Structure 1
């Protein structure tokens, strides 16, 4: 392994956003930060999860800068987040990722920082780790298969270690030389399988200097305003929030809910739109 002052670092993040795209992303932030001192390869998909469209090869070229290079791996794409097409698309991505790994030579990477999920990419990284000689850091963004219960509620009644794919998840976690997670709950889950490696919670953050520089808005009244910024889907129970605000309004409370986001539940949630609930 090279000196810690000059390493080859690979970041594997299938759902990463690129600079020309509207979503802030921790993996791009990390890639830019690390490329100030190291050679960084960011591997992501040619398919954009958030708007279901495809990137062009020149998008990778324009995003690459200095010591930071971007590689796009093909997948077939999907229209719905919960669908067989998504399973197929992930399979295509994983096959291309496996081909790339097979062509790597020992010593080309010092550290691989990999998003979880996908399970399969992390299993492949673990299987190739000894041959290629890198340290593997897994960043747990979501807990598969446990999070499938948001789509199939009956899974909540099954102990997580008995869920389908749980043994594969545990094997992926055990390959890590260090663990990162977006919440303590997710880190605890990964550490169940791999308790003796360093672990750190790094919450999904924001550009705080930019937030601090934004002027405060004074609405000039005593109304309490709630703001939701995020995806409108099965993972987040925004409907109950809408019902709660409706009840507060019916009780005469001076409140207002602002919903900023999109997703498959947007049209259904718009039935709650009124003077006190704005989209």
Structure 2
């Protein structure tokens, strides 16, 4: 039985918040007949606290879990987080030196230094190394800290580590074509690569809808425009609030804006919403199954980003498409804007323009047929391209190819 390590600092374990990509992948590869170690942090990124490892070890998983000691941090982007990841990288290196007899290492990037520790170990021991590129550091961090010269100096170690990781890859999986191709930007390598969207499990999504839809109360005349995800610097919730205010003032009190999720700007934006007239409700964090029901009960979903946001095809897209609703997209990613247009499940607009957003909402509000057609196309794309039990076979195929070599 071949032994695989999956290294990720951000994964949802039982009864936690967070992303499930690597949890699903660990189970998926176990079902394929591999012996899988999920190597993750002692620190839970979304809760911003240390995990109860003794409790987790009493729980049942089909794969083995190994924990990297990490001190933790309080903010998503600050020097404390960079220091915390540096310590985690050192501890990962020590862990692998003690027991790293793997046939392949599959590692998330970022964090760049953690991925580098895994990549360098793999190189020293002639182990195939696959990078799962699901964000770009330091590019994304410049959204928060973008000071000429100073940011370049501050982020140069992150860029250096990223380039080293990319140079050591045996294979690449990207959560978008842009991310898949990033490791080849500075030089062509003849290694396998593929795009596998973060996606979701449609069966789990649909079960969540069925179980929770009756608990999500909505009056018959209400029309919901919904955002689900992080409330942070990259995400343009402010424009949604201003658009809601514009709609209310211009005679559309039946149009409601629903914001699901949490983040560093939540309180500030709640204050803004309360100072205006729009029908804006901050739902807060909802368990996945209940979030699915909210998306399903909504009329329009907004993939809302600021102009400078570097994100491409993000985690929430699979859930938006699964809901079978039309999407308004303000993300600037050329790849995703092309996909929205060619697949026909939504409308691209420029970010940070409240009037344009309000008018686009009205365009869809008044056109029931267009909403229905876009919604049907969205669900079809979810089934064909984002359903993990099917789409993650690409990862398994790439791994099998590298292990055989």
TM-score bin (small chain): 0.7 to 0.9
Return the offset for 1:23: 3.1
Return the offset for 1:121: 2.0
Of the structure 1 ranges 246-255 and 231-240, higher mean CA displacement relative to structure 2 is found in 246-255
Residues 212 and 56 (structure 1), Cα distance of their counterparts in 2 relative to 1, 3 Å cut: closer
What is the aligned partner in structure 1 of residue 265 from structure 2?
Answer: 265
Alpha-carbon distance in structure 2 between the residues aligned to 1:267 and 1:78: 20
Where structure 2 has 5 or more consecutive residues not aligned to the other structure, the ranges are: 283-405
Is 1:124 matched up with 2:120? Answer: no
Q: TM-score, normalised by structure 2?
A: 0.61
Alpha-carbon distance in structure 1 between the residues aligned to 2:181 and 2:240: 28
Return the offset for 1:194: 5.4
Residues 145 and 255 (structure 1), Cα distance of their counterparts in 2 relative to 1, 3 Å cut: same
Residues 58 and 175 (structure 1), Cα distance of their counterparts in 2 relative to 1, 3 Å cut: same
Alpha-carbon distance in structure 1 between the residues aligned to 2:264 and 2:59: 29
Indicate if the aligned counterparts of 1:63 and 1:70 stay in contact, CA closer than 8 A.
no
Q: TM-score, normalised by structure 1?
A: 0.86
> Superposition RMSD on alpha carbons, in Å?
2.5
Q: 1:42 aligns with which of 38, 41, 48?
A: 38
- The number of residues matched between the two structures is 267
Alpha-carbon distance in structure 2 between the residues aligned to 1:193 and 1:175: 13
String of CA shifts for 1:76-99, please: whole Å, max 9, x gaps: 111122222212211221111111
What is the aligned partner in structure 2 of residue 171 from structure 1?
Answer: 164
Q: 1:80 aligns with which of 64, 72, 75?
A: 75
String of CA shifts for 1:122-159, please: whole Å, max 9, x gaps: 22222222332321111112101111111024569x9x
Residues 154 and 199 (structure 1), Cα distance of their counterparts in 2 relative to 1, 3 Å cut: farther
What is the aligned partner in structure 2 of residue 256 from structure 1?
Answer: 256
Residues 24 and 16 (structure 1), Cα distance of their counterparts in 2 relative to 1, 3 Å cut: closer
Alpha-carbon distance in structure 1 between the residues aligned to 2:130 and 2:40: 16
Return the offset for 1:263: 1.2
Return the offset for 1:176: 1.1
**Structure 1 runs (4+) greater than 6 angstroms displaced:** none
1:158-197, aligned counterparts within 5 Å?
Answer: 164-165=156-157, 166-193=159-186, 195=188, 196-197=190-191
Alpha-carbon distance in structure 2 between the residues aligned to 1:258 and 1:177: 43
SS of equivalent residue, structure 2 residue 131: strand
What is the aligned partner in structure 1 of residue 237 from structure 2?
Answer: 238
Alpha-carbon distance in structure 1 between the residues aligned to 2:172 and 2:148: 26
Q: 1:211 aligns with which of 205, 214, 221?
A: 205
Using CA pairs under 8 Å that are at least 6 residues apart, name the structure with larger relative contact order, 1 or 2.
2
Is 1:202 matched up with 2:196? Answer: yes
Alpha-carbon distance in structure 1 between the residues aligned to 2:19 and 2:83: 27
Return the offset for 1:207: 2.2
